[in-house]
Amino acid sequence: MEFWLLLHFEFTQAPFDDCARAERSLRKHMTAYAKAQKYYTREGDDIYLKLKERLPSAIGHSKKCNEFDPENPDRGHSGMHKLFGILGLS
């Protein structure tokens, strides 16, 4: 999850070997980030509202790191742009 959120702020294919490392990178952009339901669903300030304007960047970054590379299995990748395409939101 943190990898997808990080793509809203920067392009990366960093090999995060656990969520905590990705979370630390994300906190450089979202200092108040908390992996908690309250943070994600706070009325009037939920995660969608926080990141909505950055969605086009996240989709673009996801497209750039689209496919898993068996020659470089540690490289980060994302297919979230495919979901947004299916939903008609890309």
Lookup result for tokens 């630390």: 24
pLDDT tens-digit profile, the chain (90 residues): 899 999 999 999 998 888 899 999 999 999 999 999 999 999 999 999 999 999 999 999 999 987 888 888 888 889 999 998 999 886
State the total domains in the chain.
1
| Domain encompassing residue 76 | 2-86
| Coil, helix or strand at residue 89 | coil
Tokens 């742009």 found at: 81
Q: Cα(58)–Cα(39) distance, rounded to whole angstroms? A: 20
What's the pLDDT tens digit per position in 30-44?
Answer: 999 999 999 999 999
The 10 Å Cβ neighbour count of residue 36 is 9
Report pLDDT digits (tens) over 18-33. 889 999 999 999 999 9
- Is the Cβ–Cβ distance between 25 and 14 less than 8 Å? yes
